[in-house]
Every structure is written in structure tokens, then in C-alpha cells.
Amino acid sequence: MADLPHPLAAFIVGEIRRARGAAGMTQEAFGRGAGFSASHVSAVEGETRALTMDFIKGADRAFKNGGLFERMVGKLGAPSWFLPWLDAERTATQLRSFQPNLVPGLLQTEAYGRAVIRCNETLSEDEVEKRLAHRIDRQAILTKTNAPQFVTVIAESVLRRASADFQDTMAGQIKQLTTLAERPNISVHVLPDEVSMHVGLTGPFSLARLPDHKWVAEMENQLGGVVVDRDDDVDTLVSRWEMVRSEALPRRQSLVLMKEVETSWT
């Protein structure tokens, strides 16, 4: 399985090491229970080898703790399927995102993000706030030194989806979009409603270009999502990105449209 991103990995490694010590287990004994060699355990604990979900599940087996560490990953970070994407997002030199239904998470305001997360009625208010805080924390990658180039295409219908009680939230969201879109590393393009048929109708997806120039992709669905790194599949998504981007308005025209929508509610 894929590696976990730091600093979550460092925290989990520390907790596994402490649990092993408290149980009086050597690295060799722990490795036998977890299904790894003593040298592998030593490398993970010394942070010279990446921590993976396979190792975490092995630790749970060794300690017979009912899946404690796997649950910690889900609670403290994100669903396990999403972790490889977070790592790609953190190290990417370029990011691309097509969103036909929502404003991308990296550009959401707190009010908009909270409203989106609350659509999952199974979440408690505390869980909503934890997920929101994690989403907002991710946004720091766009303003850090050597921030990636982020280009997104958003359907016009996303900007206009606002009932009377949601217009203030949406107006604030569009204002943030126009502010962020003025940054040199961020481009927001609007796909006009008049483009009724396009390849992006099959769903949203994101792309990340890593420092080794390889692209990886992420696609979400109702049951979670998937991170894609198979070359043929990634090539298909890169091609579809280019097709969707070609249908969208240029950067300046997109800014004008967004400001017009915002003004219509204020």
C-alpha cells in the first residue's frame, strides 16, 4: 500500500514504538506478529523506511488491539484511500482540478466547507469541525514558499447554486475565489453553462505532478474514492483535463463572470 504523509506518519510511528516498548516486545518479536522482518521494523521506527497502511494493520495484529492504529489514521488524518493523494498534493509542483459540482476543497471558505461536510448527516458536529479543520489546513500548500501551480476548472452552475439562505455563504465563497485567483500561482477557469456536453460530465477528478515529473490522479465518488497512478489511466485523465480546460473561459473572463455573479446577490 502507499506511504502515509508526514507529520501523521511520524506520530503513528512514535505511538507504535511506545506501544511496543510498553508491551516489552523486541523488534524481532513485534515483526513476527506484524508480518515484517526485524530490519524492516527498525527502518520504519528509525524513519528511514516509509510507514504504510500494511505496516499499520500489521501493528494492530501484533498488539491484538482491535484495529486501534488504523482507526487513529482515519480519525486524525483522512480515510486511508485518501492518504496517498494527500502526500502527492503536499509535494506536487503542479495541481489540476476539475469540479462540476463543488468549489475545490483547496479554495473553499470555512462557511462553504462546513456546509458541504454537513451534507453527510451521519457525522457529529465535532466530526464536521475536525474534517473542516483538516481541509482548511491543507490550503496552506497554495501559499507556502515554492507553492505549486494550481489550475482549476469549475462549472458555472457551481457558482450559481445558491438558495436564498445560502446566498451570503456563496457570495463569500466567490469573493474568496476571485481573491485567490489574483495570485500568480492560482488560476480559476469557469466552464460556461452553455457548454452543455463535454467529457467532464462523467465526474470530478484532480491531478498532481510530482517532483519526478510523474502525474498521479484522484477521483471521488459516493463511497469514497481512488488514487490513480497507472500510466495508461493517468494519461487518459490528463487528456480529459486538456479537453475540459479548452472548453472553459480564459482566466480574466472567468474573473469577470465570478464578480458578476457575486454582485447579483449583494
125-151 pLDDT per residue, tens: 887 887 888 788 889 889 988 999 999
- Is the peptide bond prior to 211 cis by the omega test (within 30 degrees of 0)? no
How does DSSP classify residue 263? H
The lowest-confidence range among 1-5, 23-27, 95-99, 125-129 is 1-5
What CA–CA distance (Å, rounded) separates 170 from 143? 23
Residue 241 has a pLDDT of 94
Residue 96: pLDDT above 80?
yes
What are the residue ranges of helices labelled H in 190-250? 231-247
Please report which confidence band the pLDDT of residue 1 belongs to, taking 50, 70 and 90 as the band edges: very low
What CA–CA distance (Å, rounded) separates 42 from 46? 6
What are the residue ranges of helices labelled H in the chain? 8-22, 27-34, 38-45, 53-63, 68-76, 83-91, 110-117, 125-138, 156-160, 167-180, 231-247, 251-264
Helix (H) or strand (E) holding 104: none
What CA–CA distance (Å, rounded) separates 175 from 169? 10
Query: Which residues, 6 or more positions from 180, have their beta carbon under 8 angstroms from its beta carbon?
Result: 107, 142, 186, 188
Q: What percent of the chain has pLDDT over 90?
A: 53
| pLDDT mean over 46-67 | 88
For the chain, give the mean pLDDT. 87
Closest CA to 81 of 158, 4, 190: 4
Q: Cα–Cα distances in Å, from 176 out to 90, 111, 171?
A: 22, 11, 9
Q: Which three cell numbers stand for residue 165?
A: 439562505
What CA–CA distance (Å, rounded) separates 36 from 120? 38
24 neighbors 108 (Cβ within 8 angstroms): no
Q: Cα–Cα distances in Å, from 88 out to 173, 192, 218?
A: 26, 30, 10
Q: Residue for cell digits 506511504?
A: 3
User: Helix 27-34 vs helix 53-63: angle between axes, to the nearest 10 degrees?
Assistant: 100
Residue 4: pLDDT above 60?
no
Gap between the terminal Cα atoms of the chain: 49
What CA–CA distance (Å, rounded) separates 90 from 130? 19
Q: Which three cell numbers stand for residue 1?
A: 500500500
Query: Which residues, 6 or more positions from 184, have their beta carbon under 8 angstroms from its beta carbon?
Result: none
| pLDDT mean over 64-71 | 88
Domains, the chain, ordered by start: 8-76 (1.10.260.40), 80-264 (3.30.870.10)
What CA–CA distance (Å, rounded) separates 259 from 156? 12
